[in-house]
Amino acid sequence: MIEKEKINWIYKKIFTIRFFEERIKKIAKEKTVPGYLHTCIGSEAICVGVMAALNQDDWISSTYRNHGHAIAKGCELNEITSEIYGRKTGICKGRGGSMHISDFSKGMLGSFGIVAAGPAVVLGAALQEKINKSNKTCVSFFGDGAIHNGAFHEAAGLAKLWDIPMIFVCENNGYAEATATDWHLNTKELSDITKAYDMLSYIGDGNNVFKVYDISKKAINEAKQKNTPIFLEFKNYRFSGQYEGDTQLYQPQEEIDKAKQNDPIKLAKENSSKYGLNKNDLEKIINEAKEEVDKAFDFADTQPWPQPEDALEEVYVNYPVEINR
Amino acid sequence: MTIKTVKDAINDALVQSFEEDKNVILMGEDIAGGKGREQYQGTQDAWGGPFGVTQGLYTKFGGERVRDTTIAEAGFFGAAIGAAMTGLRPIVELMYVDFAGVCFDQMMNQAAKVRYMFGGKQKVPMVVRTVVGAGFRAGSEHSQTLYSLYTHIPGLKVVAPYDAYDAKGLLLSSIKDDDPVIFMEHKRLYMTSCEVPDDLKPIPLGKGRIRREGSDVTIIAIQRMNLFAEEAADELEKINISCEIVDPRTYSPLDEELIFQSVKKTGKVIVVDESNPKCSLASEISSLISEKCFSDLKAAVIKITAPHTPVPFSPPMEDFYIPSTKKIIDAVKKLKDV
């Protein structure tokens, strides 16, 4: 049984992310913002379902496709949009951009542009929790494209060897950039790759937010109870291209049409009455989400640009000579 | 006053840091040794790293804080970053700096950048201890210095002590520092020794040292090159040439003022660097001097470096590769006549 408050939270977040990413697609098309943009349309249920099982001070890492994780982890919408617009009041003071949306005060260790950089960093946070006998949950999000990278394997091997109860969350969205997952996998299932580490793994429907939540919650408990890492593979579909502007010619139309039947937003709507939300409740949540997203984008547009020399700040904690000599 | 080797001075600094701060941990390959054979007597702490520098730490502080890793540098370097961000002060050992390539992403793209690109909310107080240097007949993949590789990256600090005094004082500072520090130990200097006070205070990063005062020529020497600079200066003193030796000790931050002061005094400069010449500390320091002290110079700066080749194995070739006392003497004589 999920409490009512959590159900409302889940619905609010899942719609917020979808509206947010649709708005990103729009501004990308209009070319009104600088920089690379990667949207997560199709991953909303994974972002929200996993985060529903976490506390705000639990640790996560994300990737360049991070908007959904950041929103679900509790980062301020105004600060996210301002960052994407490159403004001084952005979540990273305009120094990060869309690929690096991350707020340490909300438990985000970082959103990394390098594929598979996150798992080892989360391993370190989890090691710290273990050494300090603390109990924060540590989760690394990455895509199916990351599972061939050595840094992922090195982190997985050490996590198992050291009995670190971290959670690896693989969003298997069918594509690593422009390459289909079924082509790049050497194993039948993606999660089979963890067999080399004798690591517990579970496969879940990444389109159903409640299933994601349920599996994540159980996995977190099991990992802590058994003092072991757990690998979660959530299957979904990447409706977004690798980046905004991607022609997506490699994604066949019939595949997209089929995937749309399991669109996480569609499923969430269909399931709403089962979770005690009537039509009015749902509409209210949807309208609120839409309104908040619109407000955040309007806000970003009014925000000041950083001064050019702001580029010189916070490279180090302490540096006794001038950075820009 | 106690006479200490560089190796023991580093071990002392580690022990002291472990005792002072429970958040200090150490990770690396065989930094203890004997993992998996705990049931046999005498197997534990068998190595202390390939040069024995960390020996005794595992016995003294236990496996929770002194962690032997798999041969997976990207894995445990990444872990050090996450651990540092969340409150520990990890020290990781990169067995040889030549292995930088397998974990360079972690230092270049994560350790160096998370503070900056995520808006200044995080810090990464970690230290990479690594072994550098030629002259050990260790071949091309175990002999480089690569100082400039890390010095190039904004967000990283780079420290390379010459003697035991600096090794201890600078390592104490590096561990207390809130930024990621690359601490480079020269394998040919481990067994050299000097006086090290037992109560030595941390030496601030970014402060160079005048190893020898002189008036005719300034020799700026990088790490082990201080040895050859001293030998050259001794020889030259016999023919009444006075050399000033400047040891910058840390390369990022670099004590530019100390260098400029010496250049103003002598007007003649030699930079000695064991690294390959292109985009090296030697070329960086030389360019800085040309830019900031042009009117003080009586001659062009002379750079003495290794050639633009990998480090060769065979002794005659390797000895040719490394800058020598003779090369420094010749260069000083050439400058003296200007």
Residues 195-234 of A with CB under 8 A from B: none
For B80-120, write each residue's pLDDT tens digit. Answer: 999 999 999 999 999 999 999 999 999 999 999 999 999 99
- The pLDDT assigned to B127 comes to 98
Q: How far apart (Å, rounded) are the C-alpha atoms in residues B297 and B301?
A: 8
Q: How far apart (Å, rounded) are the C-alpha atoms in residues B117 and A113?
A: 11
For B310-331, write each residue's pLDDT tens digit. Answer: 999 999 999 999 999 999 999 9
The arithmetic mean of pLDDT across residues B197-225, rounded, is 98
What's the token pair of residue A48? 């929200």
Contacts of B193 (CB under 8 A, 6+ apart): B3, B4, B5, B6, B164
Q: How far apart (Å, rounded) are the C-alpha atoms in residues B217 and B324?
A: 17
Domain layout of chain B by residue ranges: 2-196, 209-336
Residue span of the structural domain in which A238 resides:
4-312
Q: Which residues of A fall within a CB distance of 8 Å from B207?
A: 320
A128 touches chain B (CB under 8 A): yes
The arithmetic mean of pLDDT across residues B1-20, rounded, is 97
- The pLDDT assigned to A288 comes to 98
- Please give the residue of chain B at the shortest CA–CA distance from A123: B79
> Is residue B336 scored above 90 in pLDDT?
no
What value, to the nearest 5°, has the Cα angle with vertex B329 and ends B325 and B335? 145
Quick check: pTM over 0.90?
Answer: yes
Query: Catalytic annotation on B142?
Result: yes
Within a domain: residue A217? yes
Of B72, B117, B179, the CB nearest to A317: B179
What's the token pair of residue A56? 């705000």
A91 touches chain B (CB under 8 A): yes
Residue with tokens 């639990």: A58
**Interchain contact, A96 vs B118, CB within 8 Å:** yes
For B30-68, write each residue's pLDDT tens digit. Answer: 999 999 999 999 999 999 999 999 999 999 999 999 999
- Give the CATH number for residue A239: 3.40.50.970
Within a domain: residue A39? yes
The arithmetic mean of pLDDT across residues B204-217, rounded, is 98
Of B85, B117, B207, the CB nearest to A109: B85
The dihedral built from the CA positions of residue A245, A249, A253 and A258, taken in this order, carries a sign that is negative
Which of A63, A93, A106, A131 should one mutate to test binding to chain B, selecting the residue with the greatest count of B CBs within 10 A? Answer: A131
How close A316 comes to chain B (CA, Å)?
6
| Residue A296 · residue A70 · CB < 8 Å | no
Q: How far apart (Å, rounded) are the C-alpha atoms in residues A146 and A65?
A: 13
Indicate the fold that domain B2-196 takes in CATH. Answer: Rossmann fold (3.40.50)
Ranges of chain A with pLDDT below 70: 325
Q: Which residues of B fall within a CB distance of 8 Å from A79?
A: none
Residues 49-68 of A with CB under 8 A from B: 59, 61
Average pLDDT value over all residues in chain B: 97
Of A91, A95, A155, the CB nearest to B78: A155
Q: Which residues of B fall within a CB distance of 8 Å from A321?
A: 206, 253-256
Within a domain: residue A10? yes
Which of A318, A323, A325 should one mutate to test binding to chain B, selecting the residue with the greatest count of B CBs within 10 A? Answer: A318
What's the token pair of residue B28? 């690396």
| Residue B151 · residue B252 · CB < 8 Å | yes
For A72-124, write each residue's pLDDT tens digit. Answer: 999 999 999 999 999 999 999 999 999 999 999 999 999 999 999 999 999 99
Catalytic position from the list B142, B152, B186, B308: B142
- The pLDDT assigned to A324 comes to 79
Provide the number of structural domains found in chain A. Answer: 1
- The pLDDT assigned to A325 comes to 64
Of A108, A124, A162, the CB nearest to B78: A124
Within a domain: residue A247? yes
A214, with CB counted inside 10 A (0-12, 13-18, 19+), is middle
**Interchain contact, A158 vs B178, CB within 8 Å:** no
| Helices and strands of chain B, counted as H and E runs | 12, 14
Within a domain: residue A321? no
Q: How far apart (Å, rounded) are the C-alpha atoms in residues A316 and B115?
A: 7
The dihedral built from the CA positions of residue B306, B307, B308 and B311, taken in this order, carries a sign that is negative
| ipTM exceeds 0.90, yes or no | yes
Residue A186 amino acid letter? N
A317 touches chain B (CB under 8 A): yes
Q: How many CB pairs under 8 A join A and B?
A: 171
Within a domain: residue A9? yes
**Interchain contact, A120 vs B79, CB within 8 Å:** yes
> Is residue B337 scored above 90 in pLDDT?
no
**Interchain contact, B206 vs A320, CB within 8 Å:** yes
CATH number attached to the domain at B209-336: 3.40.50.920
